[in-house]
Structure 1
Amino acid sequence: MSQPALTPRRIALAGATGTIGQAVLRQLEAEGHSVTSVPRNALADGAKLAAVMAEARPEVVISCIASRSGAPRDAQAVDYAANAALLQAAQAAGAGQFILLSAICVQKPLLAFQHAKLKFEAELAESGIGYTIIRPTAFFKSLSGQVKRVAAGKPFLIFGDGNLTRCKPISDGDLARFIAGCIGNPDALGRILPIGGPGPAISLQEQGELLFRVADKPPRFRSVSPRIFDWAERILALGAPFSGWFAEKAEYARIARYYATESMLVLDPATGEYSAELTPEYGSETLESHYRRLLEGV
C-alpha cells in the first residue's frame, strides 16, 4: 500500500482510552492532525454523540472500540451498536472516511463478538461512506500474559504440543502507524486489510522459547489440553437456559478454546487453511524487544 503525502485532517477518534486507541492518538497528534476523542458514554447517547461530532466536523472517523469481555450482550452493545451509532453520526457530520479497527479472527466466526463485528463490517461497507476495515493479527499485549510467570521461575503454559496455532503479532506503535497511513489513502478505500507485524509467524512454543531466552532462564513448559475448555463449556452450557451468568461463562470458555486452537493468520480461501505467506507484514518492532522491555520492569 502506497503512502500519500501527509495532509493534516480533522479526525474523530473513538476508543482513545484503550491500549491501541492511545497509540493511535499519539500517532495522529505526532502527525499534526486535529483530533477529537469521542467519549465512550457518548456512543450510547445519540444527542451527545451528535453534539460531539457537530463540533468536531471530522473529515475522518476512526473507531478503535471493542467489547471488553466478548460476551454476547457486550459484543452487541459495543462491537455492533456503538459502531453503528458512530457511523450514523459520522455521515451526519459529513465525514468522508470511516476507518474501523476489527480483528483477523472474524474470518472464521464462531463467537458472539465475531458475529457482531461482521454485522457492523457489512453495514459499513454498504453505507456509502469511504471505508477502510483493518484486521490485525495478535497484539503484543495478548502474548504477554506469561512474562511474570517466567520471570518468577514458573513454567510456560502451552496447549497441546505448543504448535497448534501461529500468529504474526504486531506492536501498538506499528499498528497505530498503519492505521494513520490509511487516512486519505486511495489504496485503502473500500478495502479490508489484514495486517501482521514483522515475521516469521510464531507458535506458542516458540513464544515461550523466546521469552525464556530473553529472560536468560532454562526453558520449562507445561502442557494443557484445549479440551479443558470443551468440558467447561459443556458444563456451563447446562445452566445457560436458566442463568445469564452461566451463559456468559460458557461463552468465555468458547473464546478460550478458540484462541487455544485457531491461528491468527489469513485464512486461505483456496485451501481453508491458515497461511503465514498470505498474512501481510508491517513495521519493525519485534516481540523480542517487547519482552525485553517488560522484563526490565519485573
Structure 2
Amino acid sequence: MVKNDTPPRRIVVAGATGTIGQAVVRRLVADGHSVTALLRPGSAGHDTGPLAGAELAHAALSDHDAIAKVMGDARPDCIISCIASRSGAPKDAEAVDYGANVALLETAQAAGARQFILLSAICVQKPLLAFQHAKLAFEARLAASGIDYTIVRPTAFFKSLSGQVKRVKAGKPFLIFGDGELTRCKPISDDDLARFIAACIDNPDTSRRILPIGGPGPAISLREQGELLFEIAGRPVRFKSVSPRLFDYAERALGLGSGMSGWFAEKAEYARIARYYATESMLVLDPETGGYSADLTPEYGSDTLRDHYARLLAEG
C-alpha cells in the first residue's frame, strides 16, 4: 500500500503536538505537502521544532468557530486527525474523541476538504470503555458523512511500552500482570505509523476502509517485553507480578460513590481502563474464534522495539 507518487496536497493535521502528530507532520513536510499543524492554545509553550516546515495554527478543540477559521485559511484537501482524549474519562472522551472530531469533520467539509484520515485505536473492536464508544460513534459519523475517509487503528505504540525503562535501568523489577502472558501486541513506531498514514492520502486502496495495523512481528507479551529490556540493559531478569483483580476491587469500591460524586465515577473508569489494558491484547479479533489473532494483525514498517529500547537505555 506504500504510495510515494501523491502530488503535493494542502493538509491540516490536528493533534500535532503529540508524538504521533509530530511524526505525521514531519513525514508530510518531507513528502512536499503544504501542512498546517492545528495546535491547542495551551500548547503555545511546547517545543515546535519537530513541526518545522509546517504552518502553525492555534484553536481550542471546543471552539467550532476558531477551527472553522483555520480550515478556511488552510483550504485543505485532506484533514488528518491524531487527537485523542488525554484521560479517557467519559466527559473528556465525549468532548474530544467524538465532539472535537465532529467539529474537524464539519469545518473541513465546509472548507472543501475531500478526504479525512482518522487515527483511531485497535481496542475499539472490543468496546468496554467510554472513550472506545466515543471513538466508534465518530467512526460511524465519519463513514456516513459522504467524505472520502480512511480509519487507521494501530496496535500499541512504542511510547506506551516504554514506561518501565527507568525502572529496569535503576535495578528495579519489571511489573507484570499475572504471569505476564495475558496480553500480546505488535507495537509500531511513530515514524512507521506516520509513513502508513501518509500513504493513505489519495490512495484508492485505502479509501473508505478501516485499517488495523501493527509493527514488525512477532507479537510480544508483557513478560517478553521485560525480558527484552533486561537483556539489552545487561541486567538479571526480575519480575514483580500484580493481579489484575486489584483493578476489579478498585472499580467496585469507587463505584459505590459514583452516584454521589463525579470524582468517584471518573476514578472508577480509570480502574476499568487499567484492567482493560492489563487483560486485553492489542491485536485483531478473529471473527470466527472471538479470540485475538497475531496472524490476522497486519505488520508494517521496519523499526523494532529492540532498537527503540536500546536507544532509550543509551540516552539515559
In which range does the TM-score fall when normalised by the shorter chain?
Answer: over 0.9
Please tell me whether residue 129 in structure 1 is matched to residue 147 in structure 2. yes
**Superposed displacement of residue 3, structure 1:** 2.2
Aligned to 2:156: 138
Aligned to 2:222: 204
**8 A contact 1:147–1:294 mirrored in 2:** yes
**8 A contact 2:177–2:242 mirrored in 1:** yes
Residue 61 of structure 1 aligns to a residue whose secondary structure is: strand
**Superposed displacement of residue 4, structure 1:** 5.3
2-structure distance, mates of 1:195, 1:2? 13
1-structure distance, mates of 2:272, 2:63? 32
2-structure distance, mates of 1:283, 1:187? 18
CA-to-partner distance for each residue in 1:23-67, whole Å, 9 max, x for gaps? Answer: 111111111100011233342112211111011000000000000
Please tell me whether residue 105 in structure 1 is matched to residue 123 in structure 2. yes
Aligned to 2:19: 19
Q: Number of matched residues?
A: 298
CA-to-partner distance for each residue in 1:129-182, whole Å, 9 max, x for gaps? Answer: 000000000000000010000000010010001000000000001001100010
1:251 aligned to which of 269, 287, 290 = 269
2:76 aligned to which of 58, 61, 80 = 58
2-structure distance, mates of 1:28, 1:4? 11
2-structure distance, mates of 1:142, 1:42? 26
**Superposed displacement of residue 2, structure 1:** 4.9
Aligned to 1:293: 311
CA-to-partner distance for each residue in 1:162-216, whole Å, 9 max, x for gaps? Answer: 0000000000010011000101111111000000000000000100000000101
User: One-letter code of the match for 1:90?
Assistant: A
User: One-letter code of the match for 1:131?
Assistant: Y
**Superposed displacement of residue 119, structure 1:** 0.2
Residue 178 of structure 1 aligns to a residue whose secondary structure is: helix
Aligned to 1:77: 95
2-structure distance, mates of 1:95, 1:42? 20
**8 A contact 1:197–1:285 mirrored in 2:** yes
Residue 98 of structure 1 aligns to a residue whose secondary structure is: strand
2-structure distance, mates of 1:121, 1:61? 14
2-structure distance, mates of 1:8, 1:115? 35
User: One-letter code of the match for 1:7?
Assistant: P
2-structure distance, mates of 1:140, 1:38? 24
Aligned to 2:298: 280
Please tell me whether residue 187 in structure 1 is matched to residue 196 in structure 2. no
Residue 35 of structure 1 aligns to a residue whose secondary structure is: strand
Please tell me whether residue 227 in structure 1 is matched to residue 267 in structure 2. no
Residue 61 of structure 2 aligns to a residue whose secondary structure is: helix
Please tell me whether residue 267 in structure 1 is matched to residue 285 in structure 2. yes
Show structure 2 runs of 5+ residues with no match.
41-58
Instruction: Quote the sequence identity (%).
Output: 76
RMSD across aligned positions (CA): 0.8
**8 A contact 1:4–1:185 mirrored in 2:** no
Q: Runs (4+) of structure 1 moved beyond 6 Å?
A: none
